Amino acid sequence: MKKNFLTVAAMSIAAFFAATEIAKAADVTFSGQIRTRWEAAGHNNAGGAAGQTTAGTNAFNDGTDPDDFTASRVRLNANVNVNDSTSAFIQMQSVRTWGAASAGAAGTNAGTGNASATVSDGDATVGLHQAYFTLKNFANLPIAMDAKIGRQEVVLDGHRLFGNTGWTTGAQTHDAVRLTHAHDNMSLNLAYIIAGEDGLTNDPNDSNDLEVYLAHFNYKGVLGGQFSAIYAFVDNGCGAAGVAGAAQACTTANNDLHTIGARQAGQLFGIDYRGEFYYQFGEANATAAALGLATSAAIPEYDRDAYMFGVRVGKTFNNVMFKPGITIWYDYLSGTSDADAANGDFKTFNTLFDTGHKFYGYMDLFLAVGTGSSGGTRGLGLQDFAIKTKLEPMPGWTLKLDAHAFLTAEGVGANSTVSGVPQGAVSGVNQGNNTKSFLGQEFDVTLVHKYNANTNISFGYSTFNGTEAFTSLRNGTTTLAGVANNADAVVGSDSADWAYVQFDVKF
């Protein structure tokens, strides 16, 4: 017995020192994040329905109270330099809503079965946010390229078309293979992403899979900044994305999407600027069907012909007290009119995998632009006029005030087939023009305090004042469902507010 004990002890000590030597050789470093955010979201209330529904049908009236909840994100990162040509990165993440007993009990990011009011302390919230390895100078290709393979974030050009949606508690990652070449001021990215996999049993021919092919070029040192060009092909031939149990054959509509465009951003004569343009083509039968635009003998296919452009100019006065700054920008995302649809043209721009929170107001009311869902603008496109200001009232504090004016690109009342809003539902509309395309105004106030080198504390308040066109577009009617007898529930009669406090600790 004593001999066995000594043998086991010797083996354990040897294993410990061997693991230590391997760890030293591999050069492992750890980091992490704990982020906790309390929110009171008046625009997320679904009017008594279970769970949280973003921009619910009854959110913009006095008949419901704000949804009050706290969510947290915990990350632990391991960065491993295996040798001169191989490295790896693993990021564990746990996302949960405080007090939630199950994923469906309190809406999104609820965790699973670990609320203090439940009898079980089981917790299955931890998963992999990122896990990839990098091979330098992969396969000795004629052009030296590093290969990054695995689950990873893809962030390009300020999050415009590909971003990590970092504001959301869970954030966004992709299962991808990326080849990167960097030389002097130039970089080239080639990527293949599997965005939806339906599996061998249901889809042996991969008809229902959703795949993305990406090429991105960037060159620094142009006009005081950098120039980027991008091509992205979303291969969604069946219009389905990893739908479990879907038919083995391609039975739904084609939904292929090609995006090509360019972006230039930098600083000239002390002025910050950005200009970008993107064009989309392909087929849109599945997205059009979501708007009720079915194919027929007269219109066998809906062809994509969409575009967007954005411009921004700004100035920060670093030599002035409080270092004030002001930025003016305008974004235009094309939309589909009834006349376009009648000709088989689909002109609604799709923002792909963007971080919409960064662009279209912090209340996230227009994240689904281009998908045909009521959470966006139902295919009518979007215009965003914005003025953003900031100042530093004292060291370590930054105060920001943003004002947005949102409009559709095509009028709500003038395009009842696409919008789903019955003719005459929006009062005072001249049905022949776009006079009722104004959706509302949003004001965002943010105060950020750098508490120390590792901790930021943020405070925010936003309000959205919607118009009759906005709420009619979201509900397809002039009254809000379920509260027709509420005197304050007439469409366009009220606004929604949102506030939050966030602690972000990184180590």
Q: At residue 65, does pLDDT exceed 60?
A: yes
Residue 205 is given by DSSP the state: T
Q: Which of 384, 326, 389 is nearest to 360 (CA)?
A: 384
State the SS3 of 405-468: EEECCCCCCCCHHHHCCCCCCCCCCCCCCCCCCEEEEEEEEEEEEEEECCEEEEEEEEEEEECH
Q: 488: pLDDT confidence band, cut at 50, 70 and 90? A: very low
Task: Report pLDDT for 425.
Answer: 55
pLDDT at 155 over 80: yes
pLDDT in tens, 230-286: 999 999 867 654 444 445 455 556 789 999 999 999 999 999 999 999 999 999 988
What backbone torsions phi and psi does residue 468 show, to the nearest 5 degrees?
A: -65, -35
Q: Is 270 exposed, middle or buried (0-12, 13-18, 19+ CB in 10 A)?
A: exposed
Which phi and psi angles does 302 have, rounded to 5°? -105, 120
3-class DSSP assignment, residue 402: strand
Kindly state the DSSP code that residue 197 receives in the 8-state scheme. Answer: -
R_g over Cα of the chain: 25
- Higher per-residue pLDDT: 214 or 237: 214
Mean pLDDT to the nearest integer, 38-46: 75
- Name the pTM for this structure: 0.85
pLDDT at 296 over 50: yes
CA separation, residue 281 to residues 284, 334, 442 (Å)? 9, 13, 32
pLDDT averaged over the chain? 82
The secondary structure of 142-168 as a DSSP string is SS--EEEEEEE---BGGGSSB---TTS
| Mean pLDDT (whole number) for 391-399 | 96
Select from 443, 452, 441 the least CA-distant residue to 504.
452
Cα distance between residue 366 and residue 162, in whole Å: 16
Specify the pLDDT at position 50: 31
Residue 441 has a pLDDT of: 94
**Strand residues in 223-354 grouped as ranges (E):** 225-235, 257-268, 271-283, 303-316, 325-333, 345-346
Burial class for 157, CB neighbours closer than 10 Å (0-12, 13-18, 19+) = buried
Tokens coding 448? 């950020």
* CA–CA gap between residue 157 and residue 265 (Å, rounded): 9
String of DSSP letters for 12-81: HHHHHHHHHHHHHHHTEEEEEEEEEEEEEEGGG--SS-SS--TT-TTSSSTTSPPEEEEEEEEEEEEEEE
DSSP label at 490?
B
pLDDT in tens, 402-429: 999 999 999 888 888 888 777 655 554 4
Q: Would the pLDDT of 39 be above 60?
A: yes
How does strand 186-196 pair with strand 495-506?
A: unpaired
Percent of the chain with pLDDT over 70: 75
